[in-house]
Structure 1
Amino acid sequence: MFSTSRSASPTGTTRPTSTRRLPALGAALAAATALIAGATAPAYAADPVPASTGNDILHPELDFAGSTVAAHEGVEDPTGVRPLDVTQTAGMDVSGWQGNVDWATAAANGANFAYVKATEGTTYRNPYFAQQYNGSYNAGLIRGAYHFALPDRSSGDVQANFLVDHGGGWSADGVTLPPALDIEYNPYGATCYGLGQGDMVNWIHAFSDTVLARTGRYPTIYTTANWWSQCTGNNGDFGATNPLWTAHYGSSPGTLPNGWAYQTIWQYASSGTFPGDQDLFNGAYDRLQALATG
Protein backbone atom coordinates (compact mmCIF):
# COMPACT_ATOMS: atom_id res chain seq x y z
CA MET A 1 0.00 0.00 0.00
CA PHE A 2 2.90 2.32 0.65
CA SER A 3 5.40 3.30 -1.98
CA THR A 4 8.29 5.74 -2.03
CA SER A 5 8.92 5.50 -5.77
CA ARG A 6 8.73 8.55 -7.96
CA SER A 7 6.15 8.91 -10.65
CA ALA A 8 6.43 10.10 -14.22
CA SER A 9 4.90 13.17 -15.78
CA PRO A 10 2.89 13.10 -18.99
CA THR A 11 6.11 13.96 -20.84
CA GLY A 12 8.08 11.14 -19.24
CA THR A 13 10.32 13.24 -17.00
CA THR A 14 10.78 12.32 -13.35
CA ARG A 15 8.84 14.13 -10.69
CA PRO A 16 10.89 15.43 -7.78
CA THR A 17 9.79 14.00 -4.96
CA SER A 18 -9.46 31.19 18.80
CA THR A 19 -11.49 31.46 15.53
CA ARG A 20 -11.41 34.93 14.00
CA ARG A 21 -14.07 36.53 11.84
CA LEU A 22 -14.07 39.36 9.36
CA PRO A 23 -16.27 42.27 10.46
CA ALA A 24 -19.00 41.49 7.97
CA LEU A 25 -18.52 37.75 8.02
CA GLY A 26 -21.90 36.92 9.54
CA ALA A 27 -23.81 38.64 6.77
CA ALA A 28 -21.54 37.25 4.09
CA LEU A 29 -21.88 33.74 5.45
CA ALA A 30 -25.64 34.00 5.56
CA ALA A 31 -25.69 35.14 1.95
CA ALA A 32 -23.37 32.34 0.87
CA THR A 33 -25.49 29.78 2.71
CA ALA A 34 -28.63 31.01 1.00
CA LEU A 35 -26.99 30.72 -2.40
CA ILE A 36 -25.77 27.16 -1.91
CA ALA A 37 -28.77 25.72 -0.09
CA GLY A 38 -30.21 22.83 -2.06
CA ALA A 39 -27.60 23.10 -4.79
CA THR A 40 -26.67 20.19 -7.01
CA ALA A 41 -23.19 19.40 -8.24
CA PRO A 42 -22.47 21.45 -11.36
CA ALA A 43 -19.76 20.56 -13.83
CA TYR A 44 -16.90 23.03 -13.78
CA ALA A 45 -17.43 25.21 -16.83
CA ALA A 46 -13.99 25.28 -18.38
CA ASP A 47 -12.83 28.37 -20.20
CA PRO A 48 -9.44 28.75 -21.91
CA VAL A 49 -6.79 28.28 -19.24
CA PRO A 50 -3.26 29.52 -19.79
CA ALA A 51 -0.58 27.61 -17.91
CA SER A 52 0.35 30.96 -16.37
CA THR A 53 -0.48 34.57 -17.06
CA GLY A 54 2.83 35.79 -15.67
CA ASN A 55 6.46 34.77 -15.38
CA ASP A 56 6.66 35.02 -11.58
CA ILE A 57 5.88 31.31 -11.09
CA LEU A 58 8.72 29.47 -12.77
CA HIS A 59 7.62 25.83 -12.47
CA PRO A 60 3.97 25.60 -11.40
CA GLU A 61 3.68 22.05 -12.72
CA LEU A 62 6.20 21.04 -10.04
CA ASP A 63 4.29 22.78 -7.24
CA PHE A 64 1.65 20.51 -5.76
CA ALA A 65 0.54 19.20 -2.39
CA GLY A 66 3.67 17.63 -0.92
CA SER A 67 6.07 18.66 -3.65
CA THR A 68 8.47 20.15 -1.09
CA VAL A 69 7.89 17.77 1.82
CA ALA A 70 10.24 14.85 1.09
CA ALA A 71 13.21 17.14 0.42
CA HIS A 72 12.77 18.90 3.77
CA GLU A 73 11.46 16.11 5.98
CA GLY A 74 12.58 12.89 4.34
CA VAL A 75 10.69 9.69 3.65
CA GLU A 76 10.44 6.74 5.99
CA ASP A 77 10.67 3.25 4.53
CA PRO A 78 8.09 1.24 6.44
CA THR A 79 6.80 -2.17 5.44
CA GLY A 80 3.33 -0.66 5.19
CA VAL A 81 0.90 1.83 6.64
CA ARG A 82 0.20 0.92 10.24
CA PRO A 83 -3.48 0.17 11.01
CA LEU A 84 -5.16 3.21 12.55
CA ASP A 85 -7.80 3.39 15.27
CA VAL A 86 -10.73 4.05 12.95
CA THR A 87 -11.73 2.97 9.46
CA GLN A 88 -9.80 4.78 6.74
CA THR A 89 -11.18 5.73 3.33
CA ALA A 90 -8.76 5.75 0.40
CA GLY A 91 -8.29 8.71 -1.91
CA MET A 92 -5.77 10.74 -3.86
CA ASP A 93 -4.71 14.21 -4.92
CA VAL A 94 -3.61 15.34 -8.37
CA SER A 95 -2.35 18.43 -10.17
CA GLY A 96 -1.38 19.46 -13.67
CA TRP A 97 1.58 17.10 -13.36
CA GLN A 98 -0.67 14.10 -13.92
CA GLY A 99 -2.33 15.51 -17.02
CA ASN A 100 -5.53 13.74 -18.04
CA VAL A 101 -6.35 11.17 -15.33
CA ASP A 102 -8.01 7.80 -15.95
CA TRP A 103 -10.67 8.28 -13.32
CA ALA A 104 -12.61 5.11 -14.11
CA THR A 105 -9.54 3.03 -13.32
CA ALA A 106 -8.79 5.02 -10.17
CA ALA A 107 -12.36 4.42 -8.95
CA ALA A 108 -12.18 0.73 -9.84
CA ASN A 109 -8.97 0.48 -7.81
CA GLY A 110 -10.70 1.89 -4.73
CA ALA A 111 -10.34 5.68 -4.83
CA ASN A 112 -13.25 7.36 -3.06
CA PHE A 113 -12.18 11.01 -3.10
CA ALA A 114 -9.74 13.39 -4.74
CA TYR A 115 -8.36 16.85 -4.22
CA VAL A 116 -7.42 18.60 -7.46
CA LYS A 117 -5.02 21.52 -7.72
CA ALA A 118 -6.86 24.48 -9.22
CA THR A 119 -4.63 27.51 -8.70
CA GLU A 120 -1.33 28.88 -7.46
CA GLY A 121 -0.56 32.44 -6.41
CA THR A 122 -2.73 34.70 -8.55
CA THR A 123 -1.49 33.81 -12.03
CA TYR A 124 -1.49 30.03 -12.42
CA ARG A 125 -4.48 27.85 -13.22
CA ASN A 126 -4.14 24.12 -13.72
CA PRO A 127 -4.81 23.55 -17.45
CA TYR A 128 -6.08 20.02 -16.69
CA PHE A 129 -8.42 21.15 -13.92
CA ALA A 130 -11.70 20.66 -15.79
CA GLN A 131 -10.79 17.11 -16.85
CA GLN A 132 -9.62 16.20 -13.37
CA TYR A 133 -12.39 17.90 -11.39
CA ASN A 134 -15.30 16.91 -13.62
CA GLY A 135 -13.79 13.51 -14.41
CA SER A 136 -13.44 12.54 -10.78
CA TYR A 137 -17.04 13.52 -10.12
CA ASN A 138 -18.28 11.57 -13.16
CA ALA A 139 -16.43 8.49 -11.89
CA GLY A 140 -18.25 8.72 -8.56
CA LEU A 141 -15.53 10.28 -6.42
CA ILE A 142 -16.14 13.02 -3.88
CA ARG A 143 -13.81 15.82 -4.97
CA GLY A 144 -12.57 19.25 -4.06
CA ALA A 145 -10.17 21.92 -5.30
CA TYR A 146 -6.99 23.20 -3.68
CA HIS A 147 -4.74 26.24 -3.95
CA PHE A 148 -0.93 26.22 -3.72
CA ALA A 149 -0.15 29.25 -1.58
CA LEU A 150 2.59 31.76 -2.33
CA PRO A 151 2.21 34.12 0.65
CA ASP A 152 5.01 36.44 -0.45
CA ARG A 153 3.28 37.32 -3.73
CA SER A 154 -0.05 38.73 -2.53
CA SER A 155 -2.42 38.77 0.43
CA GLY A 156 -4.39 35.81 1.70
CA ASP A 157 -7.73 37.29 0.72
CA VAL A 158 -6.54 37.97 -2.84
CA GLN A 159 -5.34 34.39 -3.29
CA ALA A 160 -8.51 32.99 -1.71
CA ASN A 161 -10.62 34.94 -4.18
CA PHE A 162 -8.47 33.66 -7.05
CA LEU A 163 -9.13 30.08 -5.94
CA VAL A 164 -12.87 30.53 -5.52
CA ASP A 165 -13.13 32.35 -8.85
CA HIS A 166 -11.38 29.50 -10.68
CA GLY A 167 -12.92 26.26 -9.51
CA GLY A 168 -12.54 26.41 -5.73
CA GLY A 169 -16.15 26.89 -4.82
CA TRP A 170 -18.34 24.65 -2.71
CA SER A 171 -21.87 23.32 -3.13
CA ALA A 172 -24.05 21.54 -0.58
CA ASP A 173 -24.41 18.54 -2.86
CA GLY A 174 -22.69 15.87 -0.77
CA VAL A 175 -19.94 15.30 -3.34
CA THR A 176 -17.87 18.48 -3.04
CA LEU A 177 -15.16 18.82 -0.39
CA PRO A 178 -14.41 22.21 1.13
CA PRO A 179 -11.75 24.15 -0.78
CA ALA A 180 -8.24 23.50 0.50
CA LEU A 181 -5.20 25.68 1.20
CA ASP A 182 -1.87 23.98 0.47
CA ILE A 183 0.68 25.85 2.56
CA GLU A 184 4.12 24.27 2.76
CA TYR A 185 7.81 24.92 2.17
CA ASN A 186 8.53 27.67 -0.35
CA PRO A 187 9.69 26.14 -3.65
CA TYR A 188 11.15 29.50 -4.73
CA GLY A 189 13.14 30.70 -1.74
CA ALA A 190 12.98 31.20 2.02
CA THR A 191 11.05 28.47 3.85
CA CYS A 192 8.50 30.87 5.35
CA TYR A 193 8.28 33.13 2.30
CA GLY A 194 9.98 35.97 4.16
CA LEU A 195 7.02 36.39 6.52
CA GLY A 196 7.32 36.51 10.29
CA GLN A 197 5.27 34.02 12.26
CA GLY A 198 2.59 36.53 13.19
CA ASP A 199 2.30 37.76 9.62
CA MET A 200 1.98 34.18 8.38
CA VAL A 201 -0.82 33.47 10.84
CA ASN A 202 -2.59 36.64 9.69
CA TRP A 203 -2.16 35.58 6.05
CA ILE A 204 -3.74 32.19 6.73
CA HIS A 205 -6.59 33.81 8.67
CA ALA A 206 -7.25 36.16 5.75
CA PHE A 207 -7.34 33.27 3.30
CA SER A 208 -9.54 31.16 5.57
CA ASP A 209 -11.98 33.95 6.40
CA THR A 210 -12.35 34.91 2.73
CA VAL A 211 -13.08 31.34 1.66
CA LEU A 212 -15.67 31.11 4.45
CA ALA A 213 -17.30 34.37 3.37
CA ARG A 214 -17.36 33.30 -0.29
CA THR A 215 -18.41 29.64 0.09
CA GLY A 216 -19.88 29.12 3.55
CA ARG A 217 -17.10 26.64 4.44
CA TYR A 218 -13.78 26.97 6.20
CA PRO A 219 -11.03 25.63 3.95
CA THR A 220 -9.15 22.45 4.67
CA ILE A 221 -5.51 23.25 5.52
CA TYR A 222 -2.74 21.10 4.02
CA THR A 223 0.57 21.39 5.85
CA THR A 224 3.14 19.54 7.96
CA ALA A 225 3.87 19.82 11.68
CA ASN A 226 7.46 20.90 11.03
CA TRP A 227 6.56 23.69 8.59
CA TRP A 228 3.71 24.82 10.83
CA SER A 229 6.00 25.07 13.85
CA GLN A 230 8.67 27.01 11.96
CA CYS A 231 6.43 29.41 10.10
CA THR A 232 3.44 30.03 12.40
CA GLY A 233 5.16 29.61 15.77
CA ASN A 234 3.05 26.50 16.33
CA ASN A 235 -0.13 28.58 16.27
CA GLY A 236 -3.25 26.80 17.54
CA ASP A 237 -6.03 28.99 16.10
CA PHE A 238 -7.32 26.77 13.32
CA GLY A 239 -7.94 23.34 14.82
CA ALA A 240 -11.52 24.08 15.90
CA THR A 241 -12.66 25.27 12.49
CA ASN A 242 -10.47 24.04 9.61
CA PRO A 243 -10.11 20.37 8.67
CA LEU A 244 -6.48 19.23 8.69
CA TRP A 245 -4.85 17.54 5.71
CA THR A 246 -1.44 16.53 7.00
CA ALA A 247 1.55 15.15 5.09
CA HIS A 248 3.88 12.56 6.58
CA TYR A 249 5.50 9.90 4.42
CA GLY A 250 5.71 6.97 6.81
CA SER A 251 3.73 4.29 8.55
CA SER A 252 1.63 6.71 10.65
CA PRO A 253 0.49 10.34 10.46
CA GLY A 254 3.18 11.30 12.97
CA THR A 255 3.08 14.51 15.00
CA LEU A 256 0.22 16.82 14.06
CA PRO A 257 0.42 20.61 13.84
CA ASN A 258 -0.60 22.39 17.02
CA GLY A 259 -4.34 22.96 17.46
CA TRP A 260 -5.54 19.76 15.80
CA ALA A 261 -6.36 16.69 17.87
CA TYR A 262 -6.63 14.47 14.78
CA GLN A 263 -6.14 14.66 11.04
CA THR A 264 -9.05 14.66 8.61
CA ILE A 265 -6.87 13.51 5.70
CA TRP A 266 -3.38 12.02 5.77
CA GLN A 267 -1.19 12.15 2.67
CA TYR A 268 1.05 9.15 3.28
CA ALA A 269 2.89 8.65 -0.01
CA SER A 270 3.77 10.46 -3.22
CA SER A 271 2.92 7.48 -5.43
CA GLY A 272 1.14 4.16 -5.22
CA THR A 273 -2.12 2.59 -6.35
CA PHE A 274 -3.67 5.79 -7.65
CA PRO A 275 -2.33 8.54 -9.92
CA GLY A 276 -0.78 11.37 -7.92
CA ASP A 277 -0.35 11.34 -4.16
CA GLN A 278 -1.94 8.73 -1.89
CA ASP A 279 -4.33 9.85 0.86
CA LEU A 280 -6.47 8.38 3.62
CA PHE A 281 -9.58 10.05 4.99
CA ASN A 282 -9.75 9.46 8.73
CA GLY A 283 -13.15 7.79 8.90
CA ALA A 284 -15.63 5.62 7.06
CA TYR A 285 -17.22 6.67 3.78
CA ASP A 286 -20.31 8.09 5.47
CA ARG A 287 -18.08 10.49 7.43
CA LEU A 288 -16.44 11.58 4.18
CA GLN A 289 -19.93 12.32 2.86
CA ALA A 290 -20.64 14.29 6.03
CA LEU A 291 -17.53 16.41 5.43
CA ALA A 292 -18.72 17.12 1.91
CA THR A 293 -22.23 17.95 3.08
CA GLY A 294 -20.95 20.33 5.72
Structure 2
Amino acid sequence: MAQDCLEGIDVSHYQGTVDWTSVAGANIRFAILKASEGTSFQDPTFHTNWAGAKAAGLACGAYHYFLPTESFMQQADNLVGALQAVQFDPATDLPPAIDCEEMQGCSPATYAYALSALVELVQMFIGVKPMIYASPAFWNALGNPGFGDHPLWIAEYTSAAAPSVPKPWSDYAIWQYTNSGSVPGVNGPVDRNRMAPPKAAAAAPVASPLHWF
Protein backbone atom coordinates (compact mmCIF):
# COMPACT_ATOMS: atom_id res chain seq x y z
CA MET A 1 0.00 0.00 0.00
CA ALA A 2 2.80 2.43 0.87
CA GLN A 3 3.89 2.82 -2.73
CA ASP A 4 0.41 4.08 -3.65
CA CYS A 5 0.32 6.72 -0.92
CA LEU A 6 1.53 10.28 -0.98
CA GLU A 7 4.26 11.09 1.53
CA GLY A 8 4.20 14.21 3.67
CA ILE A 9 5.73 15.83 6.72
CA ASP A 10 4.50 18.09 9.48
CA VAL A 11 6.69 20.76 11.05
CA SER A 12 6.70 23.60 13.53
CA HIS A 13 9.26 26.08 14.82
CA TYR A 14 11.06 23.15 16.46
CA GLN A 15 12.44 22.19 13.03
CA GLY A 16 13.95 25.63 12.49
CA THR A 17 14.56 26.75 8.91
CA VAL A 18 13.37 24.22 6.32
CA ASP A 19 14.78 23.98 2.79
CA TRP A 20 11.52 23.25 1.03
CA THR A 21 13.13 22.76 -2.38
CA SER A 22 15.15 19.87 -0.95
CA VAL A 23 12.05 18.51 0.78
CA ALA A 24 10.12 18.50 -2.49
CA GLY A 25 13.05 16.85 -4.22
CA ALA A 26 12.77 13.94 -1.78
CA ASN A 27 9.30 13.11 -3.17
CA ILE A 28 7.45 14.74 -0.28
CA ARG A 29 4.12 15.88 -1.69
CA PHE A 30 2.39 17.62 1.18
CA ALA A 31 3.21 19.50 4.38
CA ILE A 32 1.13 20.23 7.45
CA LEU A 33 2.44 23.25 9.32
CA LYS A 34 1.81 24.35 12.88
CA ALA A 35 -0.20 27.56 12.74
CA SER A 36 -1.41 28.21 16.27
CA GLU A 37 -1.88 26.98 19.80
CA GLY A 38 -4.46 27.90 22.42
CA THR A 39 -5.93 31.38 22.36
CA SER A 40 -2.97 33.51 21.33
CA PHE A 41 0.18 31.66 20.27
CA GLN A 42 1.01 31.64 16.56
CA ASP A 43 3.96 29.63 15.35
CA PRO A 44 6.68 32.08 14.28
CA THR A 45 7.66 29.91 11.29
CA PHE A 46 4.14 29.38 9.95
CA HIS A 47 4.08 32.11 7.31
CA THR A 48 7.61 31.33 6.08
CA ASN A 49 6.94 27.59 5.96
CA TRP A 50 3.65 28.07 4.13
CA ALA A 51 5.21 30.32 1.49
CA GLY A 52 8.24 28.05 1.09
CA ALA A 53 6.27 24.83 0.82
CA LYS A 54 3.85 26.38 -1.66
CA ALA A 55 6.68 27.72 -3.79
CA ALA A 56 8.22 24.23 -3.86
CA GLY A 57 4.97 22.78 -5.19
CA LEU A 58 3.74 21.02 -2.04
CA ALA A 59 0.12 20.89 -0.97
CA CYS A 60 -0.20 22.71 2.36
CA GLY A 61 -2.26 22.26 5.47
CA ALA A 62 -2.16 23.83 8.92
CA TYR A 63 -2.75 22.57 12.44
CA HIS A 64 -3.88 24.10 15.70
CA TYR A 65 -2.78 22.68 19.06
CA PHE A 66 -6.01 22.49 21.05
CA LEU A 67 -6.12 23.46 24.73
CA PRO A 68 -9.55 22.44 26.05
CA THR A 69 -9.61 24.69 29.12
CA GLU A 70 -9.02 27.86 27.10
CA SER A 71 -11.74 29.81 25.26
CA PHE A 72 -12.81 27.89 22.17
CA MET A 73 -14.01 31.15 20.60
CA GLN A 74 -10.59 32.76 20.96
CA GLN A 75 -8.89 29.59 19.76
CA ALA A 76 -11.06 29.64 16.64
CA ASP A 77 -10.13 33.29 16.07
CA ASN A 78 -6.47 32.43 16.51
CA LEU A 79 -6.49 29.63 13.94
CA VAL A 80 -8.75 31.39 11.44
CA GLY A 81 -6.63 34.53 11.66
CA ALA A 82 -3.51 32.52 10.85
CA LEU A 83 -5.23 30.85 7.90
CA GLN A 84 -6.52 34.14 6.54
CA ALA A 85 -3.03 35.63 6.75
CA VAL A 86 -1.69 32.99 4.33
CA GLN A 87 -4.79 33.20 2.10
CA PHE A 88 -5.98 29.68 2.86
CA ASP A 89 -8.07 28.29 0.00
CA PRO A 90 -10.29 25.27 0.77
CA ALA A 91 -10.31 24.35 -2.92
CA THR A 92 -6.54 23.84 -3.13
CA ASP A 93 -5.26 23.49 0.46
CA LEU A 94 -5.64 20.61 2.89
CA PRO A 95 -8.27 21.09 5.62
CA PRO A 96 -6.79 22.49 8.83
CA ALA A 97 -6.34 20.01 11.66
CA ILE A 98 -7.18 20.26 15.35
CA ASP A 99 -4.37 18.62 17.30
CA CYS A 100 -5.97 16.64 20.14
CA GLU A 101 -3.46 15.36 22.68
CA GLU A 102 -3.73 17.33 25.93
CA MET A 103 -6.55 17.07 28.50
CA GLN A 104 -5.36 19.80 30.90
CA GLY A 105 -7.13 17.94 33.69
CA CYS A 106 -10.62 18.31 32.25
CA SER A 107 -13.18 15.52 31.90
CA PRO A 108 -13.83 13.73 28.59
CA ALA A 109 -17.27 15.36 28.43
CA THR A 110 -15.81 18.85 28.87
CA TYR A 111 -13.13 18.10 26.31
CA ALA A 112 -15.65 16.87 23.74
CA TYR A 113 -17.90 19.90 24.27
CA ALA A 114 -15.06 22.38 23.78
CA LEU A 115 -13.72 20.52 20.75
CA SER A 116 -17.16 20.39 19.15
CA ALA A 117 -17.63 24.12 19.64
CA LEU A 118 -14.19 24.85 18.20
CA VAL A 119 -14.60 22.76 15.04
CA GLU A 120 -18.06 24.20 14.39
CA LEU A 121 -16.72 27.75 14.60
CA VAL A 122 -13.73 27.00 12.38
CA GLN A 123 -15.95 25.31 9.81
CA MET A 124 -18.33 28.26 9.83
CA PHE A 125 -15.50 30.68 9.08
CA ILE A 126 -13.56 28.69 6.46
CA GLY A 127 -16.28 26.55 4.90
CA VAL A 128 -14.63 23.14 5.34
CA LYS A 129 -14.63 20.51 8.08
CA PRO A 130 -11.36 20.49 10.04
CA MET A 131 -9.43 17.25 10.42
CA ILE A 132 -9.08 15.67 13.85
CA TYR A 133 -5.53 14.69 14.85
CA ALA A 134 -5.25 12.12 17.63
CA SER A 135 -3.59 8.88 18.66
CA PRO A 136 -5.80 5.81 19.10
CA ALA A 137 -5.01 5.70 22.82
CA PHE A 138 -5.93 9.34 23.40
CA TRP A 139 -9.16 9.13 21.41
CA ASN A 140 -10.25 5.86 22.98
CA ALA A 141 -9.74 7.38 26.43
CA LEU A 142 -12.31 10.04 25.51
CA GLY A 143 -14.91 7.28 25.06
CA ASN A 144 -15.74 7.79 21.38
CA PRO A 145 -17.15 11.35 21.52
CA GLY A 146 -18.14 11.37 17.84
CA PHE A 147 -16.63 13.52 15.06
CA GLY A 148 -16.77 10.64 12.58
CA ASP A 149 -17.83 13.07 9.84
CA HIS A 150 -14.45 14.82 10.10
CA PRO A 151 -11.35 13.44 8.35
CA LEU A 152 -9.02 11.61 10.72
CA TRP A 153 -5.30 12.32 10.95
CA ILE A 154 -4.15 9.37 13.02
CA ALA A 155 -0.88 9.32 14.98
CA GLU A 156 0.42 5.82 15.55
CA TYR A 157 4.05 4.77 15.32
CA THR A 158 4.08 1.14 14.30
CA SER A 159 5.71 -1.18 11.80
CA ALA A 160 2.28 -2.54 10.88
CA ALA A 161 0.96 -2.02 7.37
CA ALA A 162 -1.81 0.24 8.66
CA PRO A 163 -2.64 2.07 11.88
CA SER A 164 -5.35 1.23 14.40
CA VAL A 165 -8.40 3.36 13.66
CA PRO A 166 -10.51 4.35 16.70
CA LYS A 167 -14.28 4.58 16.63
CA PRO A 168 -16.32 6.17 15.18
CA TRP A 169 -14.04 6.21 12.12
CA SER A 170 -13.67 3.27 9.77
CA ASP A 171 -10.69 4.71 7.90
CA TYR A 172 -8.11 7.46 8.13
CA ALA A 173 -7.22 10.31 5.79
CA ILE A 174 -3.60 10.81 6.90
CA TRP A 175 -1.37 8.58 9.00
CA GLN A 176 1.51 10.06 10.99
CA TYR A 177 3.58 6.91 11.13
CA THR A 178 6.79 8.17 12.79
CA ASN A 179 8.08 11.12 14.77
CA SER A 180 11.71 10.32 14.00
CA GLY A 181 11.80 10.51 10.22
CA SER A 182 14.66 11.90 8.17
CA VAL A 183 14.05 14.13 5.15
CA PRO A 184 16.55 16.19 3.14
CA GLY A 185 16.05 19.87 3.87
CA VAL A 186 14.97 19.35 7.49
CA ASN A 187 17.48 19.48 10.31
CA GLY A 188 17.01 16.62 12.74
CA PRO A 189 14.06 14.27 13.15
CA VAL A 190 10.72 15.14 11.61
CA ASP A 191 7.21 13.69 11.70
CA ARG A 192 6.43 11.74 8.54
CA ASN A 193 2.95 11.15 7.22
CA ARG A 194 1.26 9.03 4.61
CA MET A 195 -2.04 9.86 2.92
CA ALA A 196 -4.51 7.03 2.48
CA PRO A 197 -5.07 5.89 -1.10
CA PRO A 198 -8.37 6.79 -2.78
CA LYS A 199 -11.17 4.60 -1.46
CA ALA A 200 -12.56 3.89 -4.91
CA ALA A 201 -9.22 2.89 -6.41
CA ALA A 202 -6.94 1.77 -3.62
CA ALA A 203 -4.58 0.01 -6.04
CA ALA A 204 -4.16 3.00 -8.35
CA PRO A 205 -1.43 5.64 -7.99
CA VAL A 206 -2.52 8.71 -6.06
CA ALA A 207 -2.81 11.81 -8.24
CA SER A 208 -3.91 14.59 -5.90
CA PRO A 209 -3.33 15.33 -2.21
CA LEU A 210 -6.93 16.49 -2.01
CA HIS A 211 -8.48 13.19 -3.12
CA TRP A 212 -9.54 12.24 0.40
CA PHE A 213 -11.33 15.47 1.11
Tell me, yes or no, whether TM beats 0.5.
yes
Structure 2: runs of 5 or more not aligned: 198-204
Contact 1:156–1:205, Cα closer than 8 Å, also in 2? no
Residues 228/211 of structure 1: CA separation in 2 closer, same or farther (3 Å cut): same
* Counterpart secondary structure, 2:76: helix
Q: CA deviation at 1:287?
A: 4.7
- Counterparts of 2:139 and 2:181 in 1: how far apart (Å)? 26
Contact 2:42–2:78, Cα closer than 8 Å, also in 1? no
Q: Specify which of 248, 256, 262 is matched with residue 171 of structure 2.
A: 262
Could you give the per-residue CA deviations for residues 158-213 of structure 1, whole angstroms, max 9, x where no partner exists? 21221011236741442x111110011x3xxxxx2222121111111111101110
Alignment-mate amino acid for residue 109 of structure 1:
A
Query: Is 2:192 the counterpart of 1:271?
Result: no
Contact 1:268–1:278, Cα closer than 8 Å, also in 2? yes
Contact 2:100–2:133, Cα closer than 8 Å, also in 1? yes
- Counterparts of 2:46 and 2:209 in 1: how far apart (Å)? 22
Q: CA deviation at 1:256?
A: 1.4
Could you give the per-residue CA deviations for residues 16-71 of structure 1, whole angstroms, max 9, x where no partner exists? xxxxxxxxxxxxxxxxxxxxxxxxxxxxxxxxxxxxxxxxxxxxxxxxxxxxxxxx
What are the residue-to-residue correspondences of 1:16-27 with 2, within 5 Å? none
- Counterparts of 1:157 and 1:290 in 2: how far apart (Å)? 30
Query: Is 2:89 the counterpart of 1:171?
Result: yes
Q: Which residue of 2 aligns with 1:73?
A: none
Q: Which has the larger radius of gyration?
A: 1
What are the residue-to-residue correspondences of 1:1-294 with 2, within 5 Å? 83=1, 87-152=4-69, 154-167=70-83, 170-174=88-92, 176-184=93-101, 186=102, 192-230=103-141, 232-235=142-145, 237-239=146-148, 241-252=149-160, 253-274=162-183, 275=186, 276-283=190-197, 284-291=205-212
Alignment-mate amino acid for residue 109 of structure 2:
G
Q: Which residue of 2 aligns with 1:75?
A: none
Contact 1:244–1:263, Cα closer than 8 Å, also in 2? yes
Alignment-mate amino acid for residue 158 of structure 1:
Q
Contact 2:75–2:118, Cα closer than 8 Å, also in 1? yes
Structure 1: runs of 5 or more not aligned: 1-82, 187-191
In the superposition, the TM-score normalised over structure 2's length comes to 0.86
Alignment-mate amino acid for residue 116 of structure 2:
H
The answer to which structure has the higher strand fraction is 2
- Identity across matched positions, percent: 34
- Counterparts of 1:289 and 1:199 in 2: how far apart (Å)? 32
Choose 113-122 or 195-204, whichever is displaced more. 195-204
Q: Which residue of 2 aligns with 1:32?
A: none
Let me know the Cα RMSD of the aligned residues: 1.8
- Counterparts of 1:135 and 1:269 in 2: how far apart (Å)? 23
Report how many residues are paired. 198
- Counterparts of 1:138 and 1:94 in 2: how far apart (Å)? 16
